[in-house]
Amino acid sequence: MLNDVRNQVERCREGEAMDCDRDKLEQLLSQIPRGRVTRHGILARELGTIPRAVARIVCRSNCQQRIRVVMKGGLFPHQDNIEDCKERARILESEGLNITSDRRGVCVTEDEMWKPTHEKK
């Protein structure tokens, strides 16, 4: 498993496509409710890949739900320009989330992060 992750990281550095199922990722994104955010790492664990793979797909996505994915610590992704950050902050704040004073992230605890749930059948 560790070697698989190392190989994925190396391929990612080289700009190759990552092992990440886009359809499953979009399905997960669609489940994030208004007023909640999640991290690339949480989604990556669910998909069996690395956070960087998820981040690359999410940052290139046109999906509106991408505003609900933040980096570790609640920061908005670096790919967002300042206007994108302000718009993301405005939307998430209107949904009840606390936004950092510099408008570049959300103030949420680990317990407040959205995580996929698995119902037992």
112 pLDDT exceeds 60? yes
Asked whether 69 and 39 are in contact (CB, 8 A), the reply is: yes
Domain borders along the chain are: 2-112
Q: Can you tell me the mean pLDDT for 73-93?
A: 83
Distance of CA 103 to the CA centre of its chain: 17
Q: What share of the chain is helix, strand, coil (3-state, %, to 5)?
A: 55, 5, 40
Closest of 60, 27, 62, 63 to residue 43, by C-alpha: 27
CATH class of residue range 2-112: mainly alpha
Dist CA 65 CA 101 (whole Å): 23
19 pLDDT exceeds 90? no
Q: Model-level pTM?
A: 0.77
